[in-house]
Amino acid sequence: MLSAADRRRPWLLLAPSLITLFVLMILPIAIMTMFSFYEFVTAGVEKQVFTTQNWHDFLTDPFYHMFLWKTVRVSAITAILCAFMGYPAAYCIAMTTYKHKWVLLLLLIVPFWISFTIRTFSWIHILGEQGVINVTLMKLGIISEPMPMLYTEGAVIMGMIHFLLPYMILNVYVAIEGIDRNLISAARTLGCTAWQAFYEVVLPLSLPGLMAGLLLCFVLAAGSYVTPQILGSTRDALFGNIIFDTIMSELNWPMGSTLSLVLLILLGAVAAIYSRYMGLSRVFKGLGG
């Protein structure tokens, strides 16, 4: 029989995490939920009376639905492109016989040493009319007019891939690294070609890591607003930008809170579906390296 002190101990140990979680997550969400039922009076002013008007506006206004769908589409494209680009890189790092593998892993982390905003701004000097690509192509005589690359949806996706690719590579790398090499040798011994061994053994076993990477990339892309703000035109805004404008430009906190909760529910649902079939532990494993 556990004593009262023994029963209390786990709670005492958990207390710092629970308090942090409560103060930094539960409480802000609760406040946002409260605000979503307040009445917007004028810019920066709201009345603390219960109304479902904000939710009604969201549910009936196609403008919000269009941007929610666009966010899902752009985030899905970004996550899939990250998978296509990240998988070969992760496979190479995991399978290389190069004795200083840590250098390759370090290279993955190096971009994180530079501010995210600066990294995003750097694309302006690459994709802009006076940027490296246009200037080079024009000097080579390949094009006569600068190509419009900056302030497009493509630029936004490119910027997000730049920021998310390491997350994908790390997740897939951890999954491939965990595969028993004897399984690949056994497949080859039993007559598989190198491609078949990859297709029949490595790919299925690394799938959970790939899925975890897809989830992470999707969720982070769907929640981003800085990249579309810097690299996109106003038409390339995502749902995060709609939230930003509603709060910062219209100063309409009740509606902004409603839209924030919508995004939270959407991303929470995606994570819940993933957890139901794959388990979230994969994501944490990938993040932990």
**Interaction site with another protein (CB under 8 A):** 40, 42-45, 63, 67, 128-130, 148, 150-151, 233-235, 237, 241-242, 245-252
User: 129 with 150: CB under 8 angstroms?
Assistant: yes
Query: Tokens 């009319």 belong to which residue?
Result: 129
Instruction: Supply the minimum distance, in Å, between the C-beta of residue 240 and another protein.
Output: 12
Please, how many CA atoms are within 13 Å of residue 249, restricted to the half-sphere of its CB?
Answer: 6
User: Which residue's CB is nearer to another protein, number 177 or number 245?
Assistant: 245
User: Which residue's CB is nearer to another protein, number 67 or number 274?
Assistant: 67
Instruction: Supply the minimum distance, in Å, between the C-beta of residue 147 and another protein.
Output: 11
Please, how many CA atoms are within 13 Å of residue 116, restricted to the half-sphere of its CB?
Answer: 9
User: 78 with 160: CB under 8 angstroms?
Assistant: yes
Instruction: Supply the minimum distance, in Å, between the C-beta of residue 39 and another protein.
Output: 13
Instruction: Supply the minimum distance, in Å, between the C-beta of residue 260 and another protein.
Output: 14
User: Which residue's CB is nearer to another protein, number 78 or number 246?
Assistant: 246
User: 147 with 137: CB under 8 angstroms?
Assistant: yes
Instruction: Supply the minimum distance, in Å, between the C-beta of residue 145 and another protein.
Output: 10
Dihedrals phi, psi of 46, to nearest 5 degrees: -135, 155
User: Which residue's CB is nearer to another protein, number 90 or number 242?
Assistant: 242
Q: Taking Cα atoms as reference points, which of 217, 231, 190 lies closest to residue 84?
A: 217
Residue 45, strand partner residues: 42
User: 153 with 236: CB under 8 angstroms?
Assistant: yes
The total of other beta-carbon atoms located within 10 Å of residue 125's CB is 12
User: Which residue's CB is nearer to another protein, number 19 or number 135?
Assistant: 135
Instruction: Supply the minimum distance, in Å, between the C-beta of residue 44 and another protein.
Output: 4
User: Which residue's CB is nearer to another protein, number 25 or number 66?
Assistant: 66
